[in-house]
Amino acid sequence: MREELTLEYAKQLDAGDELKAFRERFYLQPGTIYLDGNSLGLMSKDAEQAALQVLNDWKTLGIEGWMDAEQPWFYLAEELGRMQAELVGAKPEEVVVTGSTTINLHNLVATFFAPQGRRNKILADELNFPSDIYALQSQLLLKGLDPAEHLVQVKSRDGRMIDEADIIAAMTDEIALVVLPAVLYRSGQLLDIEKLTAAAHERGILIGFDCCHSIGAVPHQFSRHVVDFAFWCNYKYVNGGPGSAAGLYVNERHFGKRPGLTGWFGYRKDKQFDMVHEFEGAPSAGAWQIGTTHLLSTAPILGSLRIFHEAGIERLRAKSLRQTEYFMQLVDELLPASLGFALGNPRAADRRGGHISLEHPEAVRICKALKARGIVPDFRAPNVVRLAPVALYNTFEEIWQTVQALKEIIENKEYEKFELGRNVVA
């Protein structure tokens, strides 16, 4: 066997990893290889401490915590926005941590979708996560438009990926708004955000991106590319905890525009407690906040972002690409076609996100067999095993062990011990 296919080689890669020390700051369960960080990231000790600090502030300060806490609660959403801006290449005032992914999408579409004349349609894609499509359908219905006619979904040529040329071709003079995923949740395809944004703007169309599967794994340059808006969750690669507060970005050229859904916490901070009924939005992305910051689901993000600041998103991206490249190499060499596996993600480094998409007709039972071995994957219907080596806490040795397990599960027919059909939560 060639050296690069051996366990010893994987251990050598780990020994030379400049980010390896960050693994010790996460809670890793003994005997478990966790490769589902693209669905829910692991808890870090930093996130735990930040959450405990907020609980202690609440216990000892009560309402005074809004201004007197170690990190004043009143400004926490904006402070986290400033911290997260470096992950998406935005100016500090263009990002705020607030709400949930779908609530933020509703607010942004309510703001930027302004149908006029022939320009009365929204462009999306047929491979997007269902929640985004539901929200877009809802926003069309609220404006009295039929989603069957006014929601245009670009077709995939192979059921895995979307061709940017097809997206651009669909940017007709009937399109008022484009909403796309930065990374497709099944295949891990990374779209060319700069190219698509330029094409949309050349045609007088506003464009926004769902970054749930890229934030914390892929660096972006939203300000430089003049992306109009973006939104994301913080519980995947950002490791903010289950149901943690989400984030959004609005380009500064849109500051001063009234958000589609306004609320008290979007008011300018220095006047918020004047309690007047005329809305005066914050002169920043903070205007797109609706309700009071959810402290207990926001606090862990503070600890997590401190880790990202130390590690650096560019270094994390470089390691992530090395890990997914190594994963693919092992799949190619150790999982022959006769075993039924196929890679469904892009191979080019500039085209893939943070996970690999391993296809197999028995994917659902393979996932169950992996879990029985202490390896946590992610199943996506109908035939995808998603595997996400997270740069902050996964090792090259774990990747090697996982590929060996996949080989043995098929060769020994271990998957046959398990029932067909996904679990309620897949």
Cβ atoms of 228 and 218 closer than 8 Å:
no
Q: Is 129 annotated as a binding residue?
A: yes
Burial class, 303, CB count within 10 angstroms (exposed 0-12 / middle 13-18 / buried 19+) = buried
Residues contacting 270, CB < 8 A, separation 6+ = none
Helices (H), 287-421: 295-311, 313-334, 363-372, 396-411
Q: Is 264 annotated as a binding residue?
A: yes
Q: Is 210 annotated as a binding residue?
A: yes
Q: Is 132 annotated as a binding residue?
A: yes
Q: Is 213 annotated as a binding residue?
A: yes
> Tens-digit pLDDT profile for the chain (426 aa)?
688 899 999 999 999 999 999 999 999 999 999 999 999 999 999 999 999 999 999 999 999 999 999 999 999 999 999 999 999 999 999 999 999 999 999 999 999 999 999 999 999 999 999 999 999 999 999 999 999 999 999 999 999 999 999 999 999 999 999 999 999 999 999 999 999 999 999 999 999 999 999 999 999 999 999 999 999 999 999 999 999 999 999 999 999 999 999 999 999 999 999 999 999 999 999 999 999 999 999 999 999 999 999 999 999 999 999 999 999 999 999 998 899 999 999 999 999 999 999 999 999 999 999 999 999 999 999 999 999 999 999 999 999 999 999 999 999 999 999 988 777 667
Cβ atoms of 190 and 349 closer than 8 Å:
no
Residues contacting 86, CB < 8 A, separation 6+ = 308, 309, 313
Task: Tell me the CA distances in angstroms from 226 to 89, 212, 251, 340, 358, one per residue in order.
Answer: 10, 19, 7, 43, 34
What is the rounded (10 degree) CA torsion for 247, 82, 195, 214? -50
Give the pLDDT of residue 1.
67
Q: Which two structure tokens, joined as six digits, stand for 236?
A: 């995947």
Question: How many distinct helices (H) and strands (E) make up the chain?
Answer: 14, 13
Q: Is 125 left (phi over 0), alpha (psi -120 to 50) or beta?
A: beta
List domains and CATH numbers for the chain: 3-30+312-417 (3.90.1150.10), 49-311 (3.40.640.10)
**Cα–Cα distance for residue pair 47/418, rounded to 1 Å:** 36
Phi then psi for 206, rounded to 5 degrees?
A: -85, 150
3-state secondary structure 92-154: HHHEEECCCHHHHHHHHHHHHCCCECCECEEEEECCCCHHHHHHHHHHHHHCCCCHHHHEEEE
Give the pLDDT of residue 2.
87
Give the pLDDT of residue 336.
87
Catalytic residue numbers, as ranges: 129, 210, 235-236, 386
Q: Is 229 annotated as a binding residue?
A: no
Task: Tell me the CA distances in angstroms from 423 to 12, 367, 410, 420, 426, one per residue in order.
Answer: 37, 10, 21, 10, 5
**Cα–Cα distance for residue pair 367/369, rounded to 1 Å:** 5
Give the pLDDT of residue 423.
77
Q: Is 284 annotated as a binding residue?
A: no
Give the pLDDT of residue 4.
87
Indicate the SS3 state at residue 296. Answer: helix
